[in-house]
Amino acid sequence: MRDLPNTYTILALETSCDETAAAVVRGGRTVLSNVVASQMDMHSRYGGIVPEVASRQHILSLVPVVQAALSALPGGWSAVDAVAATHGPGLSGALLTGLNAAKALAWQRGLPFIGVNHLEAHIYASWLDAHAEPPAFPLIALVVSGGHTLLALLRDHGDYTILGQTRDDAVGEAFDKVARILGLGYPGGPAIQRVAEGAQVGGLVLPRAWLRESFDFSFSGLKTAVLHKVQEHQEREARLPAKPAGKHKGRVVPPATPPEPPKAAPVPLDPRWVAQMAHAFQESVVDVLSTKTVEAVRQHGANAIILAGGVAANTRLRAELNRRAEVPLYVPPIDLCTDNAAMVAAAAFYRFAAGKQSGWELDVTPNLRLGM
């Protein structure tokens, strides 16, 4: 173990997916700057992330983002003690941009370089509050993002046991796919949450994949259940007699295009029905995630729960875990739940303190697992 002072300052980069991010964190817990350039608008027109577009955009954004992060640091480069970057998991081309930029910066300045696991970084977002007590080990981490869903037991810094993970879709991926099925756009998580909040809750209940005796998860069946309900709904609506079209303030407006046979016409989904479906989907996901997390805490005698990853931004999941948890629940503020570099700097601090430093040969590992 290295005894790092709480003034030890790390500049970190994060480019594993569609955010170009740089941050400066002191002592592993105090965020001095946290800059994120999102590519969301660029990808939303394609309904998802296009890897080549992401890599190119990272290259364009990296220099201004790093400059902005450093401009908030009194002393600039002279106050930086180490440089860190995410090296996996993620999109290989995207990871390459940030990893190579960080290695070059560290090498040029003669500073230590620390490669960080993106999943570990999400967990360490819960250390980013120097005024709060840090989470107490052993603890249970629920990591829920666009690419991952897993429950892990942490006995100490860097000591991970994966208790369960998804067997098919990641939970964020399920949110994104279901939002697309419901015509709610990308990214799906915030869109589903928003419309679910306004739902008039009826008797609509979707199945839960419990996978009993296991901490694993499965969300693809739930996604398919939504798809079938949408298809049934559209068929039902298409069979109904057409409403008198074009009525507008007492004036009859002829339809712009000649009416098509009912079966072929895509029936727009009723927004109230969509809201109920989004609500039922979110309830199913939240129920399974929180039930398994609380059970893991009980079985392992954990002292705390950490909720991490982009889906941790979900207010319904936060509220339900808070209601059910019998130990302190750590949930970072929203901007530290979604991808950012402050969490990478926090994870790097504890890695480096444990004597882990990376060599210049460190490469990207798109499938990097937690605990490696």
Beta bridge partners of 217: 166
Question: What x-and-dash track marks residues 289-318 binding ligand KG4 by CB under 6 A?
Answer: --------------------xxx-xx----
Q: Of these, 20, 57, 145, 284, which contacts ligand KG4 (CB under 6 A)?
A: 145
Of 333-372, binders to Zn ion (CB under 5 A) are: 339
Cβ 351 vs Cβ 28: under 8 Å: no
| Binder of residue 190, out of Zn ion, ligand KG4, none (CB less than 5 to 8 A by kind) | ligand KG4
How do strand 139-144 and strand 304-308 relate by DSSP bridges?
A: parallel
CB of 339 to Zn ion, least distance (A): 4
| Binder of residue 98, out of ligand KG4, Zn ion, none (CB less than 5 to 8 A by kind) | none
CB of 129 to Zn ion, least distance (A): 19
Contact status: 28 vs ligand KG4 (CB under 6 A): no
**How many chain residues touch ligand KG4 (CB under 6 A)?**
19
Tell me which amino acid residue 193 is. Answer: Q
| Binder of residue 350, out of ligand KG4, Zn ion, none (CB less than 5 to 8 A by kind) | none
* Cα(303)–Cα(237) distance, integer angstroms: 51
Identity of the residue, 94 or 114, whose beta carbon is nearer to Zn ion in the bound complex: 94
Which tokens is 328 given? Answer: 């302190």
CA–CA distances in Å: residue 287 to residues 126, 242, 244, 294: 23, 39, 42, 11
The 8-class DSSP code of residue 217 comes to: B
Cβ 80 vs Cβ 24: under 8 Å: yes
CB of 94 to Zn ion, least distance (A): 12
How do strand 139-144 and strand 159-165 relate by DSSP bridges?
A: unpaired
Contact status: 17 vs ligand KG4 (CB under 6 A): yes
Cβ 205 vs Cβ 280: under 8 Å: yes
CB of 158 to ligand KG4, least distance (A): 20
* Cα(237)–Cα(269) distance, integer angstroms: 9
Sign of CA dihedral 311, 315, 316, 321: positive
Question: What x-and-dash track marks residues 202-221 binding ligand KG4 by CB under 6 A?
Answer: --------------------
Contact status: 98 vs ligand KG4 (CB under 6 A): no
Q: Of these, 176, 178, 306, 343, which contacts ligand KG4 (CB under 6 A)?
A: 176
Identity of the residue, 98 or 146, whose beta carbon is nearer to ligand KG4 in the bound complex: 146
Identity of the residue, 11 or 143, whose beta carbon is nearer to ligand KG4 in the bound complex: 143
Residue 224: CB atoms within 10 Å: 13
Identity of the residue, 152 or 225, whose beta carbon is nearer to Zn ion in the bound complex: 152
Q: Among 80, 97, 77, 81, which residue's Cα sits nearest to residue 14?
A: 97
Contact status: 145 vs Zn ion (CB under 5 A): yes
Q: Of these, 10, 188, 344, 364, which contacts ligand KG4 (CB under 6 A)?
A: 188
Which pairs count as long-range contacts for 242-248, CB under 8 Å and 24+ apart, including other chains?
A: none
Contact status: 172 vs ligand KG4 (CB under 6 A): yes
Of 315-354, binders to ligand KG4 (CB under 6 A) are: 338-339
* Cα(120)–Cα(239) distance, integer angstroms: 51
CB of 84 to ligand KG4, least distance (A): 17
CA–CA distances in Å: residue 261 to residues 242, 248, 258, 265, 313: 11, 23, 10, 7, 43
The residues that touch ligand KG4, with contacts defined as CB under 6 A, are 17, 145-147, 172, 175-176, 187-190, 193, 309-311, 313-314, 338-339
The residues that touch Zn ion, with contacts defined as CB under 5 A, are 145, 339
